[in-house]
Amino acid sequence: MALELTLTIIKPDAFSAGHAGDIIKIFEANQFKIVAARLVNLTRSEAEGFYAIHRGKPFFESLTAFMSSAPALVMVLEGENVIARLRETMGATDPARAAAGTIRKLYAQDIERNAIHGSDAPETAAFEISYFFPGIELLASARAKQL
């Protein structure tokens, strides 16, 4: 097991609906430690940069409009195997297919307004963390040196 960092976003739908506290409780129950947090109101172009991998897909316009429509809470979580464990805790992209008890089953509205983002691999986590928190990799490596 490896100590990892991952990037999560409580998306505008869940944040506006008042589910941030409930979702953070789930993080805490799973030993996902919040090591950085920012409340953001993304510009369209920031949302497009974050989701650049999806440019060209039919839902890209709608997704980036949604993500820049209202405040979202962006956090870096630290924990053992936190990348995969957060993905399990989130549930499937489409809440209709998400397992019972997952964050998306509990709080998502549909396949787009699906409550939460979580990095899907170490490489994407590194890109996404640096997108919102330039310099945090230095903090993590500094902590590692102190262990």
- φ/ψ of 7, rounded to 5, equals -105, 130
- Residues touching ligand GDP, count (CB under 6 A): 9
Distance in Å, CB of 121 to ligand GDP, minimum? 10
Rounded CA separation 126/104 (Å) = 23
112 lines the binding site for ligand GDP (CB under 6 A): yes
Pair 113, 37: CB distance under 8 Å: no
Catalytic option among 98, 102, 117, 119: 117
Among 17, 93, 96, 143, binds ligand GDP (CB under 6 A): 93
Q: Which residues contact 132 (CB under 8 A, 6 or more apart)?
A: 7, 38, 40, 74, 76
Rounded CA separation 86/118 (Å) = 7
Among 7, 23, 42, 63, binds ligand GDP (CB under 6 A): 63
- Please identify, using beta-carbon distances, which residue of 36 and 63 lies nearer to ligand GDP: 63
Per-residue contact track with ligand GDP, 10 to 49, x per CB under 6 A? ----------------------------------------
117 included as an active-site residue: yes
Rounded CA separation 128/20 (Å) = 20
SS3 15: helix
Contact positions vs ligand GDP (CB under 6 A): 59, 62-63, 93, 111-112, 114, 117, 120
Catalytic residues: 117
